Structure 1
Amino acid sequence: MVWFGFGFRGFGQLEQGEGQTLLLPEPVQIRGLDPDQKKILRAAPSWSYSAFVTEDGGLLLSGFVGGSPQRYLHFCGLDCQDVLLSEKYMIVLMKDRVECWNTGSLHPDGTLPEPMWKMAVSAGNKSVFPLVGNGYVLLEPPFFRELPLTVQAQRIALGNEHVVLLTSDGRIMTWGAGRHGQLGHGDVEDVWEPRIVEALHGVPMKEVAAGGWHSASISEGGDIYCWGWNESGQLGLPSKTQENTILYSCSGVTLQDASAKEEDDDDDEDSGYIAVQSFPALIDLPQESEASKISCGSRHTAAVTCSGELYTWGWGRYGQLGHGDIKSLDHPTRVNFFSQTKLSVVDVNCRHWNTFVLCQDAK
């Protein structure tokens, strides 16, 4: 299994090859600092740095860390299992605890200072991080929030301002800021306690993802649903960015707000574009492919199919779509690099302006 990365590299977090370009539009293999090339089990990007969990429980950081650029900052012997990043905080899941550091406190001497926050968890915790115990980890203080006893969580995804949760019986719950329709409740209202997405009632789900201001899920049958902000086509729906224009799509009907309609009465061709989708919309992949994994960046989305192909769409300004250019796309498009190199995609992890992909040799 090998990891590849593409997208923003302005601070060196995808440091490969020569040059000082801010973008990496084609996938490159992520290689560790260790001469034995310990396998990377997890890859997690943030804005200016990335973290990699190695098979021996170590942690590699690459990018702008502790106030200076780092090729690789290596922390050994942590029993690290997973990691969650923001610009200000790094939260690490270990075998029996979760610990958090302010990234400004990290220094390039290979030792970690005392964590600013920590919490014990049961050894061998079976939850999918950031789920732990009876709640979930946050990327800002107080760093942990309990879930209601009535909520049995299977997976959870954190957006910039909202949360998407998959229950043990395949339902989806969302809460947080909703002004871009990212909660999927058919409006743009905020919701501060977990609430079922009623539009998906009767459709069991197996995967969820949360982007900057959009959300996505995969049904048990492999269908993709997206909702929220579509400013750059990140929902896989027709998109056109227009100053002072917001389009809302509810129950499959596209409506313009009054101010935008006055400006666009003479431009009928704009009526098919969607900027906010407040209900989940079914997104078709080419060749009726079934999806197995999905992840969302700030304004882009990536999905892995059951046959091991990767499709990406949305904002591509820093090459985060992996198509060898910086074009944005409002429809799912296959990343040909992996089929051309005879690699099968297993997993994908997007964040902000980066995409990391786990691959194996195609059978």
Structure 2
Amino acid sequence: MASSFSSSVIAWGSGEDGQLGIGNNEEREWVCVVQAIESQNVRSVVAGSRNSLAICDDGKLFTWGWNQRGTLGHPPETKTENIPSQVKALANVKIVQAAIGGWHCLAVDDEGRAYAWGGNEYGQCGEEPERKDDTGRPLRRDIVIPQRCAPKLVVRQVAAGGTHSVVLTREGYVWTWGQPWPPGDIKQISVPVRVQGLENVRLIAVGAFHNLALQEDGTLWAWGNNEYGQLGTGDTQPRSQPIPVQGLSGLTLVDIAAGGWHSTALTDDGEVYGWGRGEHGRLGFGDNDKSSKMVPQRVQLLAGEDIVQVSCGGTHSVALTRDGRMYSFGRGDHGRLGYGRKVTTGQPMEVPINLPAPKSVSGSGAEGHWISKLVACGGRHTLALVEWKADESKP
């Protein structure tokens, strides 16, 4: 018989905007449980620059954190909300994936319909009826209640940057709107435009102002801001059109991630490659090398760990191993590395998941431990999905 397992959402790091969801605005240097959503079956979590969201198996969406711009999907009653609440406007659809940008959010349901809400001053929430101010300029108001965006597209994945939005359609094309970087001379920024030269795309990842797209054939493309080499093109020139990322030939890539100004790619044999901004050690190349990298380099300090996911935050990163351990590295203030020391380091260190056993097993004498299934790094905080794994009983 399948063992019943218990899962939890955990959080650590800065709590000043309520983004930890623990009922206060304190920071945490160790992991803690987000109690308010313990009764929900959460399937994924997303950490933004100052807020957080969780998607449940039944398609419910919960948000918490900073809400000055309607980023939580309902009108702001207070600037910050430190307890998760359900996004009522999306209660009748089944949300399967979501993203948080600078101060806007995107979500997609099981039928491929996309939704946007939050800050909209760059048109990042998408098409809208044309309103003009007294001087005849288009007026863009924040969207505090989620509404459909990109209505003509059937969407598979949404991704959000600082001031722009990117979606991957079911046919494998990439579309974008909002204020890209470099800004260029785009007039209609709130209308989705197809990114030329990309097809058969499997995955997209978006940083503050740069974009990555992984094709089915394993080629990785990048475009946008390149100030720190985060496009992996060997230089620091921004690109308005996709360009292949260098230094990855011969590797089979299975996942990609983009942080504020850095990027990572993961190979099928669990190896991590990092590039872009190296300050604070967020690339994981050790304490003697916190320089930026203009082409991907293998993260030797994670070699042999069999990494299955990497998440990149504003100034830190977390790598997840196949057996459910998490390694964090980068900037350490606010406790964002999760192991009780606010030291900034380029040395990946394990995040201990020291939580009591779930109530369903406590007292039964069953030994076990918590393992992580998914990690999400935000601006100054991290979320993870953990589940209880019973230790194999000795015969």
TM-score tier (shorter): 0.7 to 0.9
Matched residue, 2:262 = 214
Matched residue, 2:95 = 80
The total of aligned residue pairs comes to 319
* Aligned match for 1:56, one of 55, 58, 63: 58
Deviation at 1:160, TM superposition (A): 0.8
Q: Let me know the Cα RMSD of the aligned residues.
A: 2.6
Deviations along 1:88-130, one digit per CA (max 9) or x if unpaired, are: 3221212331121235543xxxxx46x27442444xx655764
Name the aligned partner's letter for residue 78 of structure 1: V
Deviation at 1:286, TM superposition (A): 5.3
Gaps of 5+ in 1: 107-111, 240-271
* Aligned match for 1:4, one of 4, 7, 10: 10
**In 2, are the aligned partners of 1:89 and 1:139 still within 8 Å (CA)?**
no
Matched residue, 1:256 = none
Deviation at 1:323, TM superposition (A): 0.9
CA–CA separation in structure 2 for the residues paired with 1:303 and 1:137? 28
CA–CA separation in structure 2 for the residues paired with 1:180 and 1:26? 31
Deviation at 1:282, TM superposition (A): 0.9
Name the aligned partner's letter for residue 59 of structure 1: L
Deviations along 1:118-166, one digit per CA (max 9) or x if unpaired, are: 42444xx655764234224567553744233553211111011111221
**In 1, are the aligned partners of 2:49 and 2:379 still within 8 Å (CA)?**
yes
Deviations along 1:241-285, one digit per CA (max 9) or x if unpaired, are: xxxxxxxxxxxxxxxxxxxxxxxxxxxxxxx54421112111124
Deviations along 1:42-95, one digit per CA (max 9) or x if unpaired, are: 222223322222232222121232442333332222322222223432212123
* Aligned match for 1:354, one of 368, 381, 386: 381
Deviation at 1:346, TM superposition (A): 1.4
Alignment of 1:291-302 (within 5 A): 291-302=307-318
CA–CA separation in structure 2 for the residues paired with 1:183 and 1:208? 12
- Indicate the SS of the match to 2:247: helix
CA–CA separation in structure 2 for the residues paired with 1:344 and 1:139? 38
**In 2, are the aligned partners of 1:131 and 1:137 still within 8 Å (CA)?**
no
Specify whether residues 126 and 287 from structure 1 end up closer, same or farther in structure 2 by C-alpha distance, changes over 3 A only: closer
**In 2, are the aligned partners of 1:177 and 1:190 still within 8 Å (CA)?**
yes
**In 2, are the aligned partners of 1:338 and 1:345 still within 8 Å (CA)?**
no
**In 2, are the aligned partners of 1:38 and 1:56 still within 8 Å (CA)?**
no
CA–CA separation in structure 2 for the residues paired with 1:301 and 1:320? 10
Deviation at 1:29, TM superposition (A): 1.9
Specify whether residues 163 and 87 from structure 1 end up closer, same or farther in structure 2 by C-alpha distance, changes over 3 A only: closer
- Indicate the SS of the match to 2:353: helix
Are residue 30 (structure 1) and residue 69 (structure 2) matched? no
Matched residue, 2:41 = 39
Name the aligned partner's letter for residue 32 of structure 2: V
Matched residue, 1:269 = none
Specify whether residues 150 and 11 from structure 1 end up closer, same or farther in structure 2 by C-alpha distance, changes over 3 A only: closer
* Aligned match for 1:153, one of 190, 193, 201: 201
Name the aligned partner's letter for residue 151 of structure 2: M
CA–CA separation in structure 2 for the residues paired with 1:356 and 1:193? 33
**In 2, are the aligned partners of 1:84 and 1:139 still within 8 Å (CA)?**
no
Deviations along 1:227-249, one digit per CA (max 9) or x if unpaired, are: 1111100011245xxxxxxxxxx
Matched residue, 1:266 = none
Alignment of 1:136-285 (within 5 A): 136=175, 141-142=189-190, 144-148=192-196, 150-238=198-286, 273-285=289-301
CA–CA separation in structure 2 for the residues paired with 1:55 and 1:156? 22
Deviation at 1:9, TM superposition (A): 1.1
- Indicate the SS of the match to 1:307: coil
Deviations along 1:16-49, one digit per CA (max 9) or x if unpaired, are: 26x642x22211222346xx82212222222332
* Aligned match for 1:131, one of 153, 165, 168: 168
Deviations along 1:303-354, one digit per CA (max 9) or x if unpaired, are: 1111211111011212221112322111111112269971111111112112
**In 2, are the aligned partners of 1:338 and 1:344 still within 8 Å (CA)?**
no
CA–CA separation in structure 1 for the residues paired with 2:320 and 2:373? 7
- Indicate the SS of the match to 1:119: coil
Deviation at 1:188, TM superposition (A): 1.2
Percent of aligned positions with the same letter in both sequences? 22
CA–CA separation in structure 1 for the residues paired with 2:175 and 2:349? 33
Gaps of 5+ in 2: 1-6, 68-74, 120-141, 160-166, 180-188, 358-368, 391-395
**In 1, are the aligned partners of 2:281 and 2:289 still within 8 Å (CA)?**
no
Specify whether residues 190 and 210 from structure 1 end up closer, same or farther in structure 2 by C-alpha distance, changes over 3 A only: same
**In 1, are the aligned partners of 2:284 and 2:346 still within 8 Å (CA)?**
yes
**In 2, are the aligned partners of 1:225 and 1:283 still within 8 Å (CA)?**
yes
Deviation at 1:204, TM superposition (A): 1.4
CA–CA separation in structure 2 for the residues paired with 1:339 and 1:329? 25
TM-score (structure 2 length as normaliser):
0.73
CA–CA separation in structure 1 for the residues paired with 2:168 and 2:354? 31
Specify whether residues 90 and 304 from structure 1 end up closer, same or farther in structure 2 by C-alpha distance, changes over 3 A only: same
